[in-house]
Amino acid sequence: MKFIKRILLIVFVGLLFSNISTAENPIKPFQSPIDLKNKKLKIIQNLIDQGKTKEAIKKLYKVIDEVEANKDTVAIVNSHRILADILRDNGNYKKSNLNYSKIIPLLKNDFETLQYIYFKKGGNFQLDAMVDSALINYLKAVEISKKVPRKEDLKAKIHGNLSGIYYLKENYNKAIEHSKIAANYQKELGNKKIEAGILNNLGSIYYMQGKYNKALKAFQKALALVENGKDELDKKTRRSAFINIAYAYSGLNNYKKAFEFQDKYTVIDDSLKQELKYKEIAEISSKYEVAKKEKETEVEKSKRLRAELITKGLIIASVLLLIAVYVFYKLYQLSRKNYKLQIEQEQLVNRANIEKIKSDAQSRILAATLDGRLEERKEIAAVLHDNVSALLSAANLHLYASKKQLGSNVPVEIDKSQSIISDASNQIRDLSHKLMSSILLKFGLTAAIQDLCEKTSNSTINVTSNSKNITRFNQNFEIKIFNVITEMVNNMLKHSNAQNGMVKLEQLNGNLQVVVFDDGVGFNLDEIHEKDGVGLSQVEARILVLDGLINIKSSEAGTRIFISVPIEY
C-alpha cells in the first residue's frame, strides 16, 4: 500500500495545484463605472480602443493640464483614471497607483467608482509583489462593495484576488472563505468555466489543510460544470479536475479511484497533446512540400543555365546592372526622404517645449522613430550584402565561364561587363558597411567600439577604449548601444576641443555600464539642449526606453557621461 501511495505522489506532485492562482487576472479589462462626458476624453478613449496608445497619450497630457486649470472635477477623475490604466497596462504600477490615489479624494460618496479604484490599486500592488498593500486595498474594496448594488462581476474578481492573497499568506481559512464568495458570484452570473476554475482552487486549498473529503467535493463540482464542454478551456479545466480528484482519492487512501481518475487525466492530456502534435505535423509537412518544390525548381533552373550559359550570362549581367541602377536610385530617393524627415523633425523639436521632450511619452515616441530607422538601415544593408552582392558575384562567375568557353573570341562587351560589375560590387559593399557596422554584427561591442575609437583618433585628438567583462548580447541591443556611443563620440569631436577621450564599457550585475569622458572645455547642458538638442535628446530617449539611466557632468576641466542599462541577451 505504501508503495502504491508513493507512486501516486510521484505521478501527481506538481500537478494538483495547476489551477491555483494568486490573482484572478487583477489587470483584466473591466468597464469603469465612470461616464466619459468630456468630448476630448471620448476621443482619447477611442484612440486607446483602436490601439493608438502613443497618439492618445500625447492628447491626454494636454487635456489633464486643461481640466486641472479649469478645476473640472469629473474630467480630472476621468483623465487620471485613463492615464492610470495606460501606465498599469505598460507595467508601471507605482505611477499607475499615484494617479489612482489622486482620484480618491475627489470621489467622496461615489462608492461604485471607489470600489473599482481600490480593486485596481490592489491589483497593481499584487503585481508589484507588495502583498500587504494589496490586501489593504482589496479589503477596502470589499467594505465599499457593501454599499454598491449589483456589480457582481467586479465583486467576484475582488474576492477571487483576496483568496489568492490569503493563500500566499498561508491563511487558508480566509482563502477558502473568499473563494466561496467568488464562486457564488460567478454562479449567479452563469460563468460556469470561471466558477469551475475557482472551485478547483478551493479544493486545492482544502487539500493543503488535509481536508481530503472537502477537497474531493470541490473538485467534483468543478468537473460537473465543465464535464460536457467542447472547447479547449473546458478540456483543460476538466483535465485539472481529473488529476486533482485523483490526488484527493489518494489522500483518502482510495487508490482504485485515484488510478481511475489518473487514467482519465492521461487520456485527456494525451488528446490535448495530440491536437497540438497534429497542428505541428501539418505545418512541418507544408514546409517540406514547399522546400521540395523549391529544390526541384532549382535543379531545372540549373540545367537550363548550363545549356544556355553564354547567352544567358550576358542577359543576367544586363539585368543585374539595371537592378543595381534601380537600387542606387531608390537609395537616393530614400536619402532625400530621410533628409527631409530629419529637417522636419529638427524644426518640430525646436518649436516644441524642451520639458515635454523629456517626458516619458514623447521620449518613447522619439525612440520608436529611431528604432524604425535602425531596422530600415539594417534591412537595406542586409539586402545589399546578402542578395545584390551575391547576385553580382554570380554574374561575374558566369561571364568568366563564358570567356573560358569562347576561348580567344571573347567579345569586348564581356570584359567591360565584368569591370562594371566589379565597380558595382565595391560600391555596394562600401554602402552596406556605412549603413550598418559589419564589425559590430560579427564581433560585438568591444571590437566595434575599439574600431570606432581608432577611426576617430587623429593628430588633434586621441580617443581610446577600455572594455571589461563584455560578452555578446542581443544584436538589436548591441546596435542601439553602439549608436548611442557613436553619437556621444561625435559630440566630443564637434564641441569639446579635447586632446584626449576615452570610452569605457563594463558588464556588472546584469547591467552594461558605459562611461565616456574627455579633457575638453566642457559645455552648458541647458544651452546644448536649446541650440542643438536633437542628438542629446535621442540619446536620452534611447536610454529611457531601455529602462536605463544617464548622468552628464561637464565643466571647464572636461566632460563625463555615465550610462547604465539592463542588458538584453
Residue 373 has a pLDDT of 56
- Pick the range with the lowest mean pLDDT from 85-99, 205-219, 325-339: 325-339
**What tens digit of pLDDT does each residue of 162-215 get?**
998 998 888 999 999 999 999 998 888 888 888 888 998 998 899 988 999 999
Residue 508: pLDDT over 50: yes
The answer for residues whose C-beta is within 8 angstroms of residue 433's C-beta and 6 or more apart is 381
- Pick the range with the lowest mean pLDDT from 202-216, 352-366, 382-396: 352-366
Cell of 186: 460567478
Report the distance separating Cα 377 and Cα 379, nearest Å: 6
Q: Are 318 and 392 in contact (CB under 8 A)?
A: no
**What tens digit of pLDDT does each residue of 227-257 get?**
888 888 888 888 998 999 999 999 999 999 9
> Bridge partners of 516?
503, 561
Phi first, then psi: give them for residue 517, nearest 5 degrees: -140, 160
Cell of 496: 569639446
Phi first, then psi: give them for residue 500, nearest 5 degrees: -135, 145
Residue 381 has a pLDDT of 57
Between strands 549-555 and 558-566, the pairing is antiparallel
Q: Give the rounded percent of residues in the chain with a pLDDT score beyond 90.
A: 29
**Residues for the chain: how many in total?**
569
Residue 336: pLDDT over 90: no
Averaged pLDDT for residues 250-277:
86
Residue 136: pLDDT over 90: yes
The answer for 552, left when phi > 0, alpha when psi is -120 to 50, beta otherwise, is: beta
At residue 444, what is the residue type? G
Averaged pLDDT for residues 505-513:
93
The answer for 555, left when phi > 0, alpha when psi is -120 to 50, beta otherwise, is: beta
Residue 403 has a pLDDT of 73
Residue 177 has a pLDDT of 92
Report the distance separating Cα 309 and Cα 293, nearest Å: 24
Report the distance separating Cα 172 and Cα 63, nearest Å: 46
Residue 383 has a pLDDT of 54
> Which pTM does this prediction carry?
0.45
**DSSP assigned state of 17:** G
The answer for 253, left when phi > 0, alpha when psi is -120 to 50, beta otherwise, is: left
pLDDT band at 20 (very low <50, low <70, confident <90, very high): very low
With b for 16 or more beta-carbon neighbours within 10 A and e for fewer, the 168-182 pattern comes to beeebebbbebbbbb
Q: Where do the domains of the chain lie, and which CATH numbers do they carry?
A: 35-230 (1.25.40.10), 309-436 (no CATH), 440-566 (3.30.565.10)
Q: Are 559 and 552 in contact (CB under 8 A)?
A: yes
Q: 3-state class of 156 per DSSP?
A: helix
Closest among 391, 380, 382, 385 to 330, alpha carbons compared: 380
Report the distance separating Cα 131 and Cα 125, nearest Å: 7
Residue 19: pLDDT over 50: no
Report the distance separating Cα 355 and Cα 353, nearest Å: 5
